[in-house]
Amino acid sequence: MEHLYELRTLVEGHGQEGATETAVTGLTLYVETDPEVVAYVVHRPVLALILGGGKRTVLGGRVFDIGPGDYVAVSVDLPATGQVTKAPYSAVTLDLDLGMIAELISEPMAPAWGAAAGVEMNRAGPDLLDAMLRLVRLLDRQQDVAVLAPMIRREVFWRILQSPCGPMVRQIALADSRLSQVSRAVAWLRTNYAEPVRIERLADLAGMSPASFHRHFKAATAMSPVQYQKRIRLQTARAQLLARPGDVAGVGFSVGYESPSQFSREYARLFGAPPARDVANFHEARATAPGATN
């Protein structure tokens, strides 16, 4: 508990509301204080350690109620929905370095093969908490980051490989694993979300038959490729509209929709309101939030 308390103090001291990037490669701090906000993001392969508060996250088709001491490992790019259930909420994330993990899995005592899941949650053990604390402490000793951060990051990944999440994390660094093969198709969808989906093309990228690809893709993401693409399209459209309100139809076309009515209908199904109303509600909520300035 002492490690958790110090980690939370450091993160809340260095972090701003929302996400704060740091000088340590792949390390991001999160502080959230508004339980009314529903966040829609796409998580890249990452380790997330929760330090304070609570949050309900829907990730890979599964619902996680997470609190202090829990960690979530994400092995492929996954759309997620999250809402704070107990504020203030704080967490720290570390991007999974596939090159470093590939080196580690060749070491003796590395974990065996595992299932091709896309996300796992567990309780952080003392060794993992200690390594994460030493990594975050470097934010107060910037002169040590270049030398010490790579070594501590390597230790964090080793601790994860030794945890119950280890078999899943191992797969993302193995070029011939099912999860790694699916990840190639996921990466293509993330970049080319506006293009029509052809299962045969995605299966070819993954090096699988269409039937096998569809089965393994759904095992990793809890979605079909078409559902995954739709989610990426809609979350990208919402981000664009929140940043630059106005041309709803134009944004719909830009993310791959040919029909404005279909775009509006599917947007409302995911976000609870049509595009223009959702954006107006968002900005109104921000304007009336405590501490907002005119």
CATH code at 124?
A: 2.60.120.10
Residues 93 and 133 in one domain: yes
pLDDT at 234: 96
Query: Which pair of structure tokens corresponds to residue 62?
Result: 């599964």
Range of the domain at 270: 235-288
Within 10 Å of residue 32's Cβ, how many Cβ atoms? 21
pLDDT at 43: 87
Low-confidence stretches of the chain (pLDDT beneath 70)? 1, 107-117, 175, 286-294
The answer to whether 278 touches 272, Cβ cutoff 8 Å, is: yes
pLDDT at 180: 86
Residues 187 and 71 in one domain: no
Calculate ∠ Cα 47-51-55, nearest 5°. Answer: 80
pLDDT at 294: 46
Total domain count for the chain? 3
pLDDT at 233: 96
CATH of the domain at 283: 1.10.10
Largest separation between any pair of C-alpha atoms in the chain: 60
Q: Which of 280, 272, 240 is nearest to 256 (CA)?
A: 240
Residues 194 and 168 in one domain: no
- How many Å apart are CA 178 and CA 211, to the nearest integer? 13
Residues 196 and 245 in one domain: no
